[in-house]
Amino acid sequence: MKAGIQTRLLIITTVVLGAFLSLAGVVLDRSFRASVLDGAEEQLRLVIYSLMGAIEKDAVGLRLHDELPEPRLQQPESGLYAAVRGREGRPSWESPSAVTTAVRFPPVGLLAPGEFHFEEFNGDSDPKRFLLHYAVIWEDEAVLTFSVATDQAPFRSTIDGFRRNLYIGLGAVTLFFVLAQALAIRWGLRPLRTMTEEVRELEEGRRERLSSAYPIELEGLAENLDRFIAHEERSRSRYRKAMEDLAHSLKTPLAVLRNEIDGRDQVGSELMREQLDRMQTTVTHQLNRASVAGPVIVGRAVAVSSLVDRLLRALNTAYADRDIEVQQSVPETLKVRGDERDLLEMLGNLLENAFKYTHRRIAISGTGGTEITILVEDDGPGIQGPLREQVLNRGTRADEIQPGQGIGLAMVHELVGAYEGNLAIGESRWGGAAIALTLPA
């Protein structure tokens, strides 16, 4: 299934905008996470500096003032814990919060004095914590390692809240922009929809020309279409008039020659008469072929029922002495787009043949859809199977009793082919001929 311009633009816009905002969301998420982790590290660094200012060393070992610089270091499960370790890595001092909460400080590798080391501790049983270690040379040139830990939960909660709000916001922005883009595209493509509707009205015969209220980008196309339609109508008109003039010019000399031959009784007159008939048949056929309009690019929708009624009135008058019963059941809504003279030519030949060969009954019916089918039936002798394909060729006739030149069905067949339709010959309900004419609606 082919996607329309509006659908394609919406898909492209949605994909590009979604990819861009997703990438922006990832960048913002990582930047905010890094900022939170930097903030956590900075808080732990300040705690280490405060501990370094409060530590004392006596004969027993390291000792800190009773009043610790950070009150949470004295509260159990406060989320902030500290320890000081000597060169061997054994804790020389632990904060009351670490002792009462039984916080385990993981071993630290060898740190150079003055070096900070920040890490995330994700133990199996202990809560997840951020840790910051700092090595320093103390008064007696002993190396002390200050370790401070804090629970990750508050920081993770901040990150998760920001991430949730970020993606909800980006999703809402994406939806808003897609809707705004859909409205903008629909408004921008409105002239194309208008042109499509007007071209459809041209095809259906409800409009003669396109309107002039088009944006600059479509003005040239609209003008060219109008010029093309006008040129096509003028060309068709000139071509038909030329064909009619040619037919009229040839008809009179051929009639004079025929009368002249009929008035003489000479040897070879029969041959000349035969060749003259052949010339007249060929000229008639070729002129009919040349004057075929075919399916017009922009044509009127012709009501089939009205054409059939016109033809039936003429044929009922011509064959009034035969008392033929005609059943007409073509819906008034059945229409086909094309040249009215072509349709009259096709239907006229089929109906004239039906009147010519029927015994008493003729039926004309029609069905519609994506294609329309006109079925002409009679109760005459019909057309036998082997002849059904042959009668569609020029000069082939199913009988030699009725007058004619054998080009009627051939011309209809060529016209139907020009309209990309189909002509099928079968047997009617009464045993006569049933000819189905199918054309695109």
Q: What is the DSSP letter of 321?
A: G
User: pLDDT tens digit string along 374-401?
Assistant: 999 999 888 887 777 777 764 444 444 3
Higher pLDDT, 257 or 287: 257
Residue 377: per-residue pLDDT = 92
> At 376, phi and psi to the nearest 5?
-110, 120
User: In which band, very low, low, confident or very high, does the pLDDT at 70 lie, cut at 50, 70 and 90?
Assistant: confident
Q: Which residues contact 208 (CB under 8 A, 6 or more apart)?
A: 202
For the segment 67-94, the average pLDDT, to the nearest whole number, is 81
Residue 403: per-residue pLDDT = 42
Residue 35: per-residue pLDDT = 92
Mean pLDDT lowest for which of 6-20, 251-265, 352-366, 380-394? Answer: 251-265
Residue 399: per-residue pLDDT = 47
For the segment 300-325, the average pLDDT, to the nearest whole number, is 86
Residue 282: per-residue pLDDT = 60
Higher pLDDT, 190 or 236: 190
> At 301, phi and psi to the nearest 5?
-80, 115
Residue 285: per-residue pLDDT = 57
Mean pLDDT lowest for which of 61-75, 109-123, 218-232, 265-279? Answer: 265-279
The conformational region for residue 114 under phi > 0 = left, psi -120 to 50 = alpha, else beta, is left
For the segment 424-429, the average pLDDT, to the nearest whole number, is 88
Burial of 51 (0-12, 13-18, 19+ CB in 10 A): buried
Q: Is the pLDDT of residue 271 over 70?
A: no
Q: At what angle do helices 216-262 and 190-203 cross, to 10 degrees?
A: 10
Residue 395: per-residue pLDDT = 46
**Percent of the residues in the chain that have a pLDDT greater than 90, as a whole number:** 9
Q: Is the pLDDT of residue 96 over 80?
A: yes
User: In which band, very low, low, confident or very high, does the pLDDT at 168 lie, cut at 50, 70 and 90?
Assistant: very high
For the segment 102-113, the average pLDDT, to the nearest whole number, is 81
Q: What is the DSSP letter of 107?
A: P
Residue 376: per-residue pLDDT = 92
For tokens 């394609």, the residue is 8
Q: What is the DSSP letter of 8?
A: H
Integer Cα distance of 210 and 399 in angstroms = 51
User: In which band, very low, low, confident or very high, does the pLDDT at 113 lie, cut at 50, 70 and 90?
Assistant: confident
Residue 18: per-residue pLDDT = 86
For the segment 360-371, the average pLDDT, to the nearest whole number, is 88
Structure tokens at 14: 């949605």
Residue 66: per-residue pLDDT = 66
Helices (H) and strands (E) in the chain, counts: 10, 14
User: In which band, very low, low, confident or very high, does the pLDDT at 59 lie, cut at 50, 70 and 90?
Assistant: low
Q: Is the pLDDT of residue 406 over 50?
A: no
Residue 27: per-residue pLDDT = 92
Can you give the length of the chain in residues? 441
Q: Which contiguous run of DSSP H or E holds residue 295?
A: none
Residue type, 118: F
Q: Are 106 and 84 in contact (CB under 8 A)?
A: no
Q: Which contiguous run of DSSP H or E holds residue 83?
A: strand 80-85
Residue 266: per-residue pLDDT = 60
Question: Is the sign of the CA dihedral 341, 255, 351, 399 positive or negative?
Answer: negative
Integer Cα distance of 304 and 331 in angstroms = 8
For tokens 């003028």, the residue is 234
Q: b/e string for 360-376 if b means 16 or more Cβ within 10 A?
A: ebbbbebeeeeebbbbb
For the segment 128-136, the average pLDDT, to the nearest whole number, is 89
Question: Is the sign of the CA dihedral 3, 9, 14, 20 positive or negative?
Answer: positive
Mean pLDDT of the chain: 80
Q: What angle do CA 355, 361, 363 make, to 5 degrees?
A: 85
Number of other residues whose CB lies within 10 A of the CB of residue 381: 14
Higher pLDDT, 80 or 5: 80
Number of other residues whose CB lies within 10 A of the CB of residue 410: 20
> At 147, phi and psi to the nearest 5?
-125, 130
Integer Cα distance of 79 and 152 in angstroms = 9
Q: Is the pLDDT of residue 287 over 80?
A: no
Residue 217: per-residue pLDDT = 80
Q: Is the pLDDT of residue 277 over 80?
A: no
User: In which band, very low, low, confident or very high, does the pLDDT at 32 lie, cut at 50, 70 and 90?
Assistant: very high
User: In which band, very low, low, confident or very high, does the pLDDT at 57 lie, cut at 50, 70 and 90?
Assistant: low
Q: What is the pTM of this model?
A: 0.51
User: pLDDT tens digit string along 335-353?
Assistant: 887 778 788 888 888 998 8
Residue 28: per-residue pLDDT = 92
Q: What angle do CA 288, 293, 296 make, to 5 degrees?
A: 165
Residue 398: per-residue pLDDT = 44
What DSSP assignment string belongs to 177-217? HHHHHHHHHHHHTHHHHHHHHHHHHHHTTS-SS--S---HH
User: In which band, very low, low, confident or very high, does the pLDDT at 364 lie, cut at 50, 70 and 90?
Assistant: very high
